[in-house]
Amino acid sequence: MNAPPTRPEASPAVRLKIAIQKSGRLTDSSLDLLSRCGLKFSRGKDQLMCYGENMPLDVLFVRDDDIPDLVQEDVCDLGLVGLNVVEEKRLAFQARGIAPLFEIVQLLDFGRCKLCIAVPDGFEYRGAASLAGKRIATTYPNILARFLAERSIAAEVVVLSGSVEIAPRLGRADVICDLVSTGSTLAANHLRQVETVLESQAALIRTPVPIAADKQDWTRRLLMRIDGVEQVKGSKYIMLHAPRSALAAIAKLLPGSEAPTVIPLEGRGDRVAVHAVCRESVFWELLEDLKGAGATSVLVLPVEKMLA
């Protein structure tokens, strides 16, 4: 008989909480990141919170716009959210004279999109000055206001809570300022992108308030694992054989690698094996160059986990 899965012995107060987007651009990649960090949990349909089965870590599924507030209010210790939301909230708090209680731990390699100004197909756009006197619909009023202020443009910001892209057709605005990733929403609504207001990607945020002592160890471990997962994306392990005399030339070719490991090959004179982790993409051209420098038996392997 199988032993039942062990539950981490931690009272609710010492369990870490991380907020992620309930459904949208960041959800799948956020869940993937957490499971690559070793977290096991089962998620029922419409379940708003999941209990980590093998770590004292619970996952809250919320609207992305609420994630900085949950960290701000200390309901969650950590959050995975787009820079677009982080920046909008930071500016909103700043405008109200409140210091934001969330800080970016690191940028993550997913959720890339842009906050853009887009105009209806027939709109004659000749630079940002064309926005003067126009009504601009957005769910990002603070970022948009900063963009306009930096260019000394007076325009009316129409704050909506969603469905921004239909505002021009409904006569509620002349142009919009909204997120674009594939561009299909703009195209479907006969809008065309004319300015990039902010480049965004996912980020890990945390409270700058010291995390309770009994949560610190798991916070440190989780942050290290997230960093490890991010580092292995794109990293490769290269193994090859080469004459010792070619080592300098080969080391120079290995992209973004730390000091390679050099191992003598038993009974093969001056030939050695070279092993190195490369933190950049490895293309066929590199393998050809390595071969040209004297390497043989070149192997490229994916890296599954890394702990610096």
Contact 263, 240 (CB under 8 A): no
Name the residue among 15, 14, 18 with its Cα closest to residue 26. 18
CA–centroid distance for 190 within its chain? 29
- The answer to the question of residue 182 lying near ligand PRP (CB under 6 A) is yes
- The answer to the question of residue 67 lying near ligand PRP (CB under 6 A) is no
- The answer to the question of residue 24 lying near ligand PRP (CB under 6 A) is yes
Among residues 190 and 268, whose Cβ is nearest to ligand PRP? 190
Long-range contacts of 190-193 (CB under 8 A, 24+ apart): 190/120, 190/121, 191/118, 191/119, 191/120, 191/121, 191/165, 192/118, 192/119, 192/120, 192/121, 192/123, 193/114, 193/116, 193/117, 193/118
- The answer to the question of residue 152 lying near ligand PRP (CB under 6 A) is no
Binding residue (CB under 6 A) for ligand PRP from 8, 100, 183, 255: 183
The span of 28-36, 167-175, 183-191, 223-231 binding ligand PRP (CB under 6 A) equals 183-191
The residue number with the shortest CB distance to Zn ion is 64
User: Smallest distance from the beta carbon of 163 to ligand PRP, in angstroms?
Assistant: 8
Report the alpha-carbon distance of residue 298 to residue 213 in Å, rounded.
48
> Which residues lie near Zn ion (CB under 5 A)?
64-65
Binding residue (CB under 6 A) for ligand PRP from 29, 106, 185, 201: 185
User: Smallest distance from the beta carbon of 138 to Zn ion, in angstroms?
Assistant: 12
Binding residue (CB under 6 A) for ligand PRP from 16, 131, 148, 179: 179
The span of 6-14, 51-59, 100-108, 178-186 binding ligand PRP (CB under 6 A) equals 178-186
Q: Provide the 8-state DSSP code for 257.
A: B
User: Smallest distance from the beta carbon of 93 to Zn ion, in angstroms?
Assistant: 17
Among residues 79 and 260, whose Cβ is nearest to ligand PRP? 79
Among residues 67 and 286, whose Cβ is nearest to ligand PRP? 67
Tokens matching residue 222: 């989780």
Taking the alpha carbons of 188, 189, 193, 195 in that order, is the dihedral positive or negative?
Answer: negative
User: Smallest distance from the beta carbon of 106 to ligand PRP, in angstroms?
Assistant: 21
DSSP SS3 for 12: helix
Using alpha carbons, list the distances in angstroms from residue 233 to 12, 83, 127.
33, 20, 38
Name the residue among 61, 101, 99, 97 with its Cα closest to residue 80. 61
Report the alpha-carbon distance of residue 172 to residue 55 in Å, rounded.
49
User: Smallest distance from the beta carbon of 185 to Zn ion, in angstroms?
Assistant: 13
- The answer to the question of residue 238 lying near ligand PRP (CB under 6 A) is no
End-to-end CA distance of the chain: 38
Report the alpha-carbon distance of residue 131 to residue 150 in Å, rounded.
13
Q: Could you say which of Zn ion, ligand PRP, none residue 184 binds, taking C-beta under 5 to 8 angstroms by partner kind?
A: ligand PRP
Among residues 65 and 227, whose Cβ is nearest to Zn ion? 65
Please give the residue ranges that form the binding site for ligand PRP (CB under 6 A).
24-25, 64, 162, 164, 178-185
